[in-house]
Amino acid sequence: MRKIKALLLTEGMHGMVSQVEGMAKALNVEFSHKIVRLGFPWNLIPPRFTPVSEIILKDKIYLTENHDSSLIISCGRKSVIPSILLKRKNPNLFTIHIQNPKVNLKNFDIVIAPEHDNLNGENIMNSKGAIHYITDLEINNAKSYLESKIKNKKVVSLILGGPNKYYNFDKSQLVKIFNEVRFSFINQGYQIIVIPSLRTPKPIIDLAIKEFKEDGYVLSTVDKQAYLSALAIGTSIIVTCDSTSMISEAATSGKPIFVAHMKTKKNNYRFKKFYKLFKDMGIIRDLGEKVENWKYDKLNEAERIAFKIKSKIKN
């Protein structure tokens, strides 16, 4: 039996790519991924004020090329209008949008939104945290990738995000975090693995190398296998507070997760609701709290939601 073919639409940011590919993998479909680029001024305007027209697009090839996809999975603001356009061209397409599209929800067959967004409706499915493409099997298979770099049974993996509209991610904040990591973990006999992301500024990576080069292993570049391996090797995991996606990905490991908090630039109420949900589920604690092991059910929201969606696609 032939697999369903899906077209994935995002702006290309890691968190969005992780979400659409995670859902595609959980649905067990073949997929191709297209990066959406909007022309000026539409790249700055919210979807609800944007015309449903090809004039907003820089690249129209995925709207005009012959593809046999029967499923669209989109994520992020810029992919909203292209998904609606494709649906209008072919009403038989089944469309899934991840995150709040900020337009009429009836434009999509399914909208997947994190529980902390408080989005409700007949076609809404809520996830606990972010959907992503990390699986328990991938984590276990990558364990050996960094094993030769660490010679200790007690390992803390520090996952670094980067600046966004809520957090500056400035040096002074990271110095405080690094000092707390040293006090709570390094001074207690842990070795460290530091993993940067695409958003991590180079000066912060350099600062981490300077601070921890004698205490473990610090990656200077982005490496997915190293990221997965760090989740497998770490007996504890620290994730900076700027990324609910990375915290959700780390929760696939079932390991104790500490969130490294920073000062905010603006009201981060959605982040606070996310932290509360994950604390209530026994997944996270704040960096600085007592270091100990605890257990929780490994989180795999993509699989749980995909199970519900499969029957709707068949129908």
Do the domains 136-286 and 5-133+302-314 match in fold? yes
Helix orientation angle between 202-212 and 171-184, rounded to the nearest 10 degrees: 30
Q: What is the pLDDT of residues 162-188, one digit of tens each?
A: 999 999 999 999 999 999 999 999 999
Q: How many helices (H) and strands (E) does the chain have?
A: 11, 12
Tokens at 71, concatenated: 């499923």
pTM for this predicted structure = 0.89
Query: How far, in Å, CA of 148 to CA of 144, rounded?
Result: 8
Other C-beta atoms closer than 10 Å to the C-beta of 18 total 22
Three-state DSSP class for residue 67: coil
Question: With bands split at pLDDT 50, 70 and 90, how would you rate the model's confidence at 116?
Answer: confident
Given this model, what pLDDT does residue 1 score? 55
Fold of 136-286: Rossmann fold (3.40.50)
Three-state DSSP class for residue 255: coil
Q: What is the pLDDT of residues 232-272, one digit of tens each?
A: 999 999 999 999 999 999 999 999 999 999 999 999 998 99
Whether the CB-CB separation of 287 and 260 falls below 8 Å is answered with yes
HSE, CB side, 13 Å, CA atoms: give it for residue 201: 12
Q: What is the mean pLDDT of residues 36-45?
A: 92
Q: What is the mean pLDDT of residues 46-51?
A: 93
Whether the CB-CB separation of 21 and 85 falls below 8 Å is answered with no
Given this model, what pLDDT does residue 117 score? 84
The CATH number given to 5-133+302-314 is 3.40.50
Given this model, what pLDDT does residue 61 score? 61
Given this model, what pLDDT does residue 20 score? 96
Domain extents for the chain? Answer: 5-133+302-314, 136-286
